[in-house]
Amino acid sequence: MAERSILFEPDDKYNAFLRVCNKPSYTEGKLAGVAVAVKDNISTRGIETTCASRILKGYVPPYDARAVELLRNAGAAIAGKTNMDEFGMGTTTENSAFGPTLNPCDTGRVPGGSSGGSAAAIAGGMVQMALGTDTGGSIRCPAAFCGIVGLKPSYGRVSRYGLIAYANSLEQIGPMGKSVSDVSTLMEVIAGHDRHDSTTHDRPYTHTPHADIKGLKIGIPQEYFGEGVDPAVADVVKKAIGRLEELGTTTVPCNIPSMKYALAAYYVTCTCEASSNLARFDGVRYGPAADTKRSWHEAYQEVRSAAFGTEVRRRIMLGTFALSSGYYGKYYAKAQVTRENIKADFNRIFKDVDVIAGPTMPTIAFKMKEKSDPLSMYLADILTVPANLAGIPAISVPCGKSEGMPVGLQIMGRMFEDERIVDVAYAYEQAVN
Amino acid sequence: MADAEDQVIVGLEVHCQLDTKSKLFCGCDTDYRSDGPNTHVCPICLGLPGAMPSLNKKAIEYAMRVAKALNCTVIHESEFSRKNYFYPDLDKAYQITQYDKPLAEGGYLEIESDEGGERKIRLTRIHVEEDPGRLVHMGNVERGKYSLVDYNRAGIPLIEIVSEPDMRSPKEARKFLNKLRATLEYLSVFDSEKEGSLRVDANISIKGNERVEVKNITSYKGVEKALLFEVTRQKNLIRRGQRIERETRHYLEARGVTQSARSKEMENDYRYFPEPDLRPLRVKSWVEGIVLPELPDARRERFIAEYGCSLNHARTLTGELKLANFFEKVVASDPKGLSPLAATWIADTLIGELNYRDMDLDPVDPESFTELVRVLKAGTITDKSGVDVLRVMLDQRLKNETRETPAGIVARLNLAKTDGDTGAITAAIEEAINENLKALEDYRAGKGGALNFLVGQVMKKTRGKADPAELNRMLTDALKKREA
Amino acid sequence: MVTEKDVQHIAELADVGVSSEELGTFTHQFNEILEYFDLLDTVKGDAAATRDLYNIMREDEVEPSLPQEEVLRNAPAQEDGFIKAPRVM
């Protein structure tokens, strides 16, 4: 196939990119010549991939993540690697070892995270679409904060092969774009079974968004409009749901009682898995050198304490503690029970409704450095983590503004019904534009 | 049996490499031993960020075969877990293994007990896991300047077989291991000849005392040696009134001793949790479909029934797949005629001569051995000459020299029995008696040793070519003649 | 309650060093976070993790490995085809 290249020289005022590919090549295909940005925790053959961490400085993967391989096969031009919270651990993209990304809507505010670079690259007009990853809201949060569209696919719908794992049982690679159509197109390219990822299902995504959602039943969970949710944000979202009703849908109030455990279950699960996933970064096979003259524990401690950021070390230690002898039953096992309870809650609700709608984030984008306390930062993920714990698809679509900043409408669907939530988001987008 | 106070209690954890073509979680070729370091490695077994495991079905099939052969119960749902610890040979800083949901539980293996007869050694569980890489230490282990890592071995499938503490001596532990090896080889899932394909951790205690774990035993003979060392060490401690500490010790093969591991390693907290990148296994129903080949016990019984082997010969011959196959090839052309001689000559003579040379059976072709047995059966050479012929055959193979046929060796060394040439024997007998009249007197006085002495003298004069039975008869006749 | 000593132990188990200046802050934060996690003590039920996929396996087929130079390319230190690592024991 003839290989051509595009010229990609963005004016990156927001520090959205960690690396820009100035003359990326492309081939024929659905995305022929389209510049696509890729979050820096997704492996790209021949392009440095760091997870925005010093511990992977200089690491050049010898292989492409499956999603990147599919992008290339579809003709896309890999435009560069986008900034993120180190290893995906954050909600602001301030936790990058290479400086924070700014929100294009207000450079005094964070773009959200952890896929903040991808969101800012789209919102800042540098690319039309990008890949992000979503472990507990990392696609939807920056989509909401930057006023773009982001989809967390059903767990198992997109291969994670080549995604540098933070919390395997929760995360998915997903599409981000200016419009719902862009997101749907990108999803079509990256979804599908992969023999290299044993958790993928054979459920390809071939779908063109429909705007007709007449007759659809939408569940409105009371917990998504309760304590901790900024009333101004709640109002914007309620209005958006009103628009959906005008399109012929009906709304049904509902409850997710297990949601009060969701955040604890989420943080236990992701820190436990992270503590194991991030143990391999020891300065032997890649990354900054461990001192080979010292004994291994000393050498590892030295390189890991110097090259991991504070939040990463905090989460590694929390997970290590939660898995340590005597605590497994108290933390990890209970977190898994909670996940089953949350799935059961969703299953019950989805017997009566087709989708669930609410705000993506409880607030608008934070000011830079506004959230300094870890626990209060974690609490900001409360509305996004339930979808990851249950594995169900969720999309964030811009639905208005509060204090001049974008607000995201989150739509969650039944397992593997990604198409349906795309349709709802598309219908809303078409109705307001 | 030792008195109850001194009762030795041994349990083993045996790790064997499963003989699959590709690694447990990736497609890398498992045939790495003759290639350079880090040449059988991919993103998965190197633990590159983002790589994910995909499970080799054959490894599970092999493990199931073992489970069935060892009478284990396959668990309805099993899964893989991560065992987290740091070590430079461990690419991901965790080993994918099975923890609380192993593939199979229970089962047993029968061994010949020290008191004779068969004894069941119960098994606790069988699970599948990945091998770590291999470390080369610069300098010695204690003072190495740094380590060098080769990840070729990383991801080779291992089966871990854990026994109950049912063995009562280091010797029984060795028998267990030999029987296990034979069984795995019969199942075609394991190649014991590949270097490092087996590793053993042993738990050993003297009844009523703390148990000690001995790690790092890498050879069949090492197990007995390491345990014998431990028995002596522990008994000495008890004798001196000291307490045996519950600890982990490393076996230092070269020195034949065990050494206490640093306490730091004891504190390992492996933080097991289910491997989130793999899905659980529900393979219990596969058990029915597994057709087991003939196993060592069945083959032993068949050797006794079909070839008339003695129990001991049958046990020895079937104790190693290669040896059993060799025996059957040797006697194939005439099982009835060749079996008794072949069994003795393989089980007693050949094994001894191979061990003496530290030589493998492979270079010995069954055809040549059949010929040797035929020559012996024809009675044209003596047993002693037979051993000489065998030694020449083995030495030629060992040194890679031109191989002569057994008949060729007999001819070249002029080993054919002299029984056609009774004259020479008669002359030698007369000579021997005349030179040893004292022996003649002793014989007449009824001293049994005298005859044997004279046989020896005649043998010397005929350079071993006389058939002992024939010689005996002729000598007795000659002595009787003199009496008359 | 976790103590500074506990945090030190966890840092060693995880091979992430913690400086004496950080120790107090980490300990304080951990107690706050772990107290929040204690919410899980009141979780009802004992549902085992449900999986919709079982027996996901591949055939035993050999696929090409990486060339040795690709394996070594990202390693900070190497010698004669081996990757250099800290000493053990």
Mind listing the pLDDT tens digit for each residue in A41-74? 999 999 999 999 999 999 999 999 999 999 999 9
**Mean pLDDT within B250-263:** 86
- When scoring B22, B77, B148 by the number of chain C Cβ atoms within 10 A, the one with the most, hence best to mutate, is B148
Cβ contacts of B145 on chain A, cutoff 8 Å: 292-293
A391-418 b/e with 16+ CB inside 10 Å = b? Answer: bbbbbbbbbbebeebbbbbbbbbbbbbb
Cis peptide before B263 (omega within 30 of 0): no
| pLDDT at position A372 | 85
Of B38, B42, B283, the CB nearest to C72: B38
Residue A28 pLDDT > 90, yes or no? yes
Q: Which one is catalytic: A53, A96, A114, A396?
A: A114
CB contact under 8 A, C81 and B38: yes
| pLDDT at position B417 | 75
Range scoring the smallest mean pLDDT among A6-20, A78-92, A150-164, B371-385:
B371-385
CB contact under 8 A, C58 and B40: no
**Mean pLDDT within A3-32:** 96
Q: Which one is catalytic: A138, A154, A159, A396?
A: A138
**Mean pLDDT within A262-273:** 98
Token output for A46 = 């021949």
Q: Does B64 touch chain C (CB under 8 A)?
A: no
Q: Does B261 touch chain C (CB under 8 A)?
A: no
pLDDT above 90 covers a percentage of chain A that reads 97
Q: Does C16 touch chain A (CB under 8 A)?
A: yes
Cβ contacts of A275 on chain B, cutoff 8 Å: 84, 271
Range scoring the smallest mean pLDDT among A1-15, A108-122, A190-204:
A1-15
**Mean pLDDT within B306-330:** 96
| pLDDT at position B140 | 61
CB contact under 8 A, A63 and B43: yes
| pLDDT at position A312 | 98
- When scoring A155, A276, A278 by the number of chain B Cβ atoms within 10 A, the one with the most, hence best to mutate, is A276
| pLDDT at position B139 | 64
CB contact under 8 A, A61 and B48: yes
Residue A1 pLDDT > 70, yes or no? no
Contact B26, B45 (CB under 8 A): yes
Cβ contacts of A334 on chain C, cutoff 8 Å: 40-41, 43
Nearest chain A residue to C7 by CA distance is A317
Q: What is the pLDDT of residues C3-46, one digit of tens each?
A: 999 999 999 999 998 999 999 999 999 999 999 999 999 998 88
Ranges of each domain in chain C: 4-42
**Mean pLDDT within B82-107:** 97
Burial of B122 (0-12, 13-18, 19+ CB in 10 A): middle
Tell me which residues of chain B, numbers 72 to 91, contact chain A at a CB-CB cutoff of 8 Å: 82, 84, 86-88, 91
| pLDDT at position A371 | 87
**Mean pLDDT within B95-100:** 97
| pLDDT at position B143 | 61
| pLDDT at position B419 | 57
Report which of A160, A407, A167 is spatially closest to residue A275, judged by C-alpha positions.
A167
Tell me which residues of chain B, numbers 82 to 121, contact chain C at a CB-CB cutoff of 8 Å: 86-88
pLDDT above 70 covers a percentage of chain B that reads 95
Report which of A68, A76, A270, A66 is spatially closest to residue A165, judged by C-alpha positions.
A270
Q: Is the dihedral of CA A233, A238, A239, A243 positive or negative?
A: positive
Report which of B183, B221, B230 is spatially closest to residue B200, judged by C-alpha positions.
B221
Nearest chain C residue to B261 by CA distance is C89
Token output for B302 = 């068949």
Q: Is A396 a catalytic residue?
A: no
Q: What is the pLDDT of residues B157-195, one digit of tens each?
A: 999 999 999 999 999 999 999 999 999 999 999 999 898
Residue B16 contacts by C-beta under 8 Å, 6 or more apart in sequence?
A: B158, B159, B161, B180, B181, B184, B190, B197, B198
Cβ contacts of B137 on chain C, cutoff 8 Å: 87-88
Q: Is A198 a catalytic residue?
A: no
How far does Cα A186 stand from its chain's mean position? 15
Ranges of each domain in chain B: 4-289, 296-412, 418-483
Q: What is the architecture, at CATH level 2, of domain B418-483?
A: Orthogonal Bundle (1.10)
pLDDT above 90 covers a percentage of chain C that reads 84
Q: Count H helices, E strands: chain B?
A: 17, 15
**Mean pLDDT within A128-150:** 98
| pLDDT at position B30 | 98
Of A58, A289, A341, the CB nearest to C45: A341
Residue B114 contacts by C-beta under 8 Å, 6 or more apart in sequence?
A: B1, B168, B169, B171, B172
Token output for A339 = 């996940």
Question: What is the C-alpha separation between A165 and B289, in angstroms, rounded?
Answer: 38
Question: What is the C-alpha separation between A89 and A96, in angstroms, rounded?
Answer: 9
Residue B262 pLDDT > 70, yes or no? no
Question: What is the C-alpha separation between A32 and A77, in angstroms, rounded?
Answer: 8
Q: Does C1 touch chain A (CB under 8 A)?
A: no
Question: What is the C-alpha separation between B3 and B5, in angstroms, rounded?
Answer: 6
3-state SS class at B286? helix
3-state SS class at B337? helix
Q: What angle do CA B226, B232, B235 make, to 5 degrees?
A: 135
Going by the DSSP 8-state scheme, the letter that residue A98 receives in this structure is: T
Q: How many CB pairs under 8 A join A and B?
A: 109
Supply the mean pLDDT for chain B: 92
Supply the mean pLDDT for chain A: 97
Q: What is the pLDDT of residues B414-461, one digit of tens each?
A: 888 765 567 778 888 888 888 888 888 888 888 878 888 888 888 888
| pLDDT at position B1 | 45
Pairing of β A77-82 and β A35-39: parallel
Label residue A55 left, alpha or beta by phi (over 0 means left) and psi (-120 to 50 means alpha).
alpha
**What's phi and psi for B459, nearest 5 deg?**
-55, -45
Contact A243, A431 (CB under 8 A): yes
Q: What is the pLDDT of residues A345-378, one digit of tens each?
A: 999 999 999 999 999 999 999 999 998 899 989 9
CB contact under 8 A, C59 and B58: yes
Neighbouring subunits of B (3+ Cβ pairs under 8 A): A, C
| pLDDT at position A420 | 98
Q: Does B38 touch chain A (CB under 8 A)?
A: no
Of B22, B144, B150, the CB nearest to C61: B22
Q: Does A374 touch chain C (CB under 8 A)?
A: yes
Report which of B187, B197, B205, B213 is spatially closest to residue B292, judged by C-alpha positions.
B187
CB contact under 8 A, A163 and B272: no
Q: How many CB pairs under 8 A join B and C?
A: 123
- CA distances from residue C65 to B22, B23, B46, B70, B96 in whole angstroms, order as listed: 11, 11, 10, 35, 20
**Mean pLDDT within B39-57:** 98
pLDDT above 90 covers a percentage of chain B that reads 74
Range scoring the smallest mean pLDDT among B70-84, B241-255, B336-350, B459-473:
B459-473
Token output for A93 = 């993209």
Q: What is the pLDDT of residues A77-134, one digit of tens each?
A: 999 999 999 999 999 999 999 999 999 999 999 999 999 999 999 999 999 999 999 9
| pLDDT at position B266 | 46
Token output for A303 = 């390189």
Q: Class of the A4-190 domain?
A: alpha beta
Instruction: Put the strands of the sheet holding A217-221 in their side by side order.
Output: A17-20, A77-82, A35-39, A129-134, A172-177, A149-152, A394-402, A405-413, A355-359, A217-221, A250-254
**What's phi and psi for B163, nearest 5 deg?**
-100, 160
Q: Is A138 a catalytic residue?
A: yes
Q: What is the pLDDT of residues A309-353, one digit of tens each?
A: 999 999 999 999 999 999 999 999 999 999 999 999 999 999 999
